[in-house]
Structure 1
């Protein structure tokens, strides 16, 4: 009897922290005064807006499990990074309702992916698309390359990117 393989949903192919490990992301987040906390596989992730395997944020802490997608970790960390320290301390689960901050967070997560070995912006943008991020130009890459200058300029003005578009660590 021949059995066709069941197609794997695209979200199953995104890079997870268990594949990357926690050391490099923890070191990256520490450069911004954030702490990455590993959550046990059978526990709910504190401060997770979406639940399930999505990263969570509370104050200066980012919470994740081995099954947390790398894009989720970088996105939630990005929310804390774009906030001034005084606002960070008050964050629990939902960081902002500001469009400028949300755009900056998406842009920053893509840039920060280059700081993680084996990830890089191309992989992260592919994972964002597979996960279902929605951009008016149809893909994370199209948005990043053609429609995100406002986010880039906002990050430069806040001192989070240098003029060359590289992370400026606090």
Structure 2
């Protein structure tokens, strides 16, 4: 599992800042505020995403993408649990695959493998199969809200 210690905090912090979010580094061994899953998993409170060096990159991206896809008014009130509906969950998953391409040393192939290893479940059996063949609703949801970077072609390409 690729962690923030493997890639550093700088590039993820820049990525999140570009979307109006803030990455907050938590000291090793300290509890992560706003973590739904506990242990080393990323947490969220308002527009802040909390993570430690042992936080998996896919976890950081997933929680950040939850914040990115939710309406600003709801984001201001969010604490720990960001899910509003299944379509929003799928949109966050789709966006996290795209955002992985913006992080040096990560990319969509790695983040999809880590999502599968962590236990994300999709009806086609893998993150890649879902992303490439079954995520039309998530893609349309993101596109309708202006959250799909680069249009459909870059979203469907391989990285």
* Bin for the TM-score computed over the shorter chain: over 0.9
1:165 offset after TM fit, Å?
A: 5.4
TM-score (norm 2): 0.94
Give the aligned partner of residue 74 of structure 1.
61
Paired with 2:29 and 2:23, the residues of 1 have a C-alpha distance of 18
Q: Map 1:13-24 onto structure 2 (within 5 A).
A: 14-24=1-11
Distance 1:165-1:73 versus aligned 2 partners, 3 A rule:
farther
What 5-or-longer segments of structure 2 have no aligned partner? Answer: none
Equivalent position SS for 2:152? coil
Give RMSD over aligned pairs: 1.1
- 1:91 is aligned to 78
Runs of 4+ in structure 1 over 2 Å off: 162-167
**What is the TM-score of this pair, normalised by structure 1?**
0.88
Residues 22-77 of structure 1: CA deviation (Å, up to 9, x unaligned): 00000000011100000001210000000000000000100000000000000000
User: 1:163 aligned to 2:134?
Assistant: no
Kept after mapping to 2: 8 A contact 1:152/1:165: no
| Counterpart residue number, 1:104 | 91
User: Greater Rg, structure 1 or structure 2?
Assistant: 1
User: 2:110 maps to which residue?
Assistant: 123
What 5-or-longer segments of structure 1 have no aligned partner?
Answer: 1-13
